[in-house]
Structure 1
Amino acid sequence: MSSPPLRQLALQGAAAILILSLAWPYYGLRGEAMPWLETSLAIGAAALLFATLSRQPWWWRVIHGGFMPLVWFTHTLAIDPGWFLLAAILLLLVYRGALTGQVPLYLSNKQTVQALADLLAERGDSRFLDLGAGVGSTTVPLADALPESHFTGVENAPLTWLAGRLLSVGRPNLAWRWDDLWQARLGDYDVVYAFLSPAPMPRLWEKVQAEMKPGSLFISNSFPVPGATPDRVIEVACSPARPLYCYQR
């Protein structure tokens, strides 16, 4: 079975093939140049139709509908290709998780950090692991607020890892690791926190059940575990809503 990114690429490719297979013979027989603006709009419309028929989320429909028209518009700007290469490298350095695991970069807000600090204070001294820790927006303030607890952040995007590493300097109760979250040993921690996306949650829950010890706590920001009932849901006072789904092991 193909991965979701490949399925989205296949959908866009199907729309392009459909429109071009009709447009090329038509304009070729008429001896006319291909009207690329109209063709790109037609490809976008076909991709939007395919995305709608396949019940894609609304943001994928927007992406599919606008992708080819944006390609045409960008082409008209005659931008040096080197800039696109640079942009691609920077995106990979910052959003590696989105490309390899469908995990975009999310930053926990101050209200969420305070809610986590209150929860950890209830539990007492803890060993806390942040899976996909970004730039340390969760672990750094928690380490400052709870000096008796120990915090570990795991991140695998180079630039965000570097930013978090620099921010963690001078905090002896904070360890910063460049690693794949799937390689993390969850059994070493009392509390495991994740702010990922819906895509990896079923697999992560299997890992949580297999590795976390009785009495430990798994917390997912915003994305509940499919098919599992949380023991507690903390409604964080922020907009948009970012509930914390807590699962006691």
Structure 2
Amino acid sequence: MPTDNYEPNADATGTEPTAPPRTMLRQCAVQGAAVILVLSLAWPYFGLRSEPLPWPETAFGIGAVALLLARLSHQPSWWLWIHALFVPAAWAVSRLDIPPGWFLLGFIALLLFFRGAASGRIPLYLSNAATVETLSDLLRQHPGVRFVDLGAGIASTLVPLAQALPDKHFTGVENAPASWAIGRIRTRGIANILWQHANLWDQSLGDYDGVYAFLSPAPMAALWQKALREMKPGSILVSNSFAIPDVSPTEIIQVDDTRQTQLYCYRIP
């Protein structure tokens, strides 16, 4: 995934950001411009002819203009699809006569599981079994005993790691309420897991020998700066799939799975 121009907003105390609002405002501006442009032409044209506005064609027209504006403004490829399909999809759903309460329920459910995507452009990613096994082999070779998973989801990584490595201690940090609750249930009774409901930027990394993160491209530069400030020399930062921009990893481990996962390992100098 592209970096989408992530711009950390560290404050005077050095606290790392939640995601800046500029990116979402930029995407809303693209959609808004497309709606205004298409409707400003369509309403007068069909109004003067006393004809109703053809909403299917208008919706797809808005999607096409939004796609063009997104491309001209150099949006990432995945945003192009979102801009092209957003209004047509909204029109199609409006034809289903779904009670509004279901939309509210769906929004709440998404927020409970994907709070990180809304606040920090960090979606819920789950590490697969092959990745966890590879990570377990890596940690066996590492002399440290304390490791933290930033954005730990539903503990799908920490539970098997803690069971495979009972001599090491693991901390999971998750801020999406529903994911945290599921993880809390899964980790209950596992003595070498500390499960925390917290923002990863508020988590001090100084007490850990290793950090694992499966986030997104957006926060990686800021995470590296946080790691350099807080982590001990010789400790390790492992990023699943997303490399730190302009920083050469100490090692890249290829996972033998269908998606060809790569683990980018960075030794703290």
**Identical positions, percent:** 56
Which residue does 1:141 correspond to in 2?
160
Among residues 101, 113, 132, which one is paired with 1:82 in the alignment? 101
- The question of whether the paired residues in 2 share the 8 Å contact of 1:131 and 1:155 is answered with yes
Gap regions ≥5 residues in structure 2? 1-19
Q: Give how far 1:55 is off.
A: 2.3
Which one-letter code corresponds to 1:199 in the other structure?
Answer: A
Q: Give yes or no for the alignment of 1:103 onto 2:122.
A: yes
Q: Give yes or no for the alignment of 1:206 onto 2:204.
A: no
Tell me the SS of whatever aligns to 2:206.
helix
Among residues 75, 87, 90, which one is paired with 1:71 in the alignment? 90
- The question of whether the paired residues in 2 share the 8 Å contact of 1:125 and 1:148 is answered with no
Q: Give how far 1:125 is off.
A: 4.7
Tell me the SS of whatever aligns to 1:186.
coil
- Give the TM-score normalised by the residue count of structure 1: 0.98
Among residues 118, 128, 134, which one is paired with 2:137 in the alignment? 118
Among residues 192, 197, 200, which one is paired with 2:216 in the alignment? 197
Aligned pairs (5 A) from 1:1-249: 2-249=21-268
Tell me the SS of whatever aligns to 2:123.
coil
- The question of whether the paired residues in 2 share the 8 Å contact of 1:136 and 1:168 is answered with yes
Q: Give how far 1:192 is off.
A: 0.5
C-alpha RMSD of matched pairs (Å): 1.1
Equivalenced residue count is 249
Q: Give how far 1:61 is off.
A: 1.0
Gap regions ≥5 residues in structure 1? none
Tell me the SS of whatever aligns to 2:238.
strand
Q: Give how far 1:222 is off.
A: 0.3
Moved more, 45-54 or 221-230: 45-54
Moved more, 15-24 or 56-65: 56-65
Which one-letter code corresponds to 1:64 in the other structure?
Answer: H
- The question of whether the paired residues in 2 share the 8 Å contact of 1:233 and 1:245 is answered with yes
Structure 1 residue ranges (4+ consecutive) displaced by more than 3 angstroms after TM superposition = none
Using CA pairs under 8 Å that are at least 6 residues apart, name the structure with larger relative contact order, 1 or 2. 2
Q: Give how far 1:58 is off.
A: 2.2
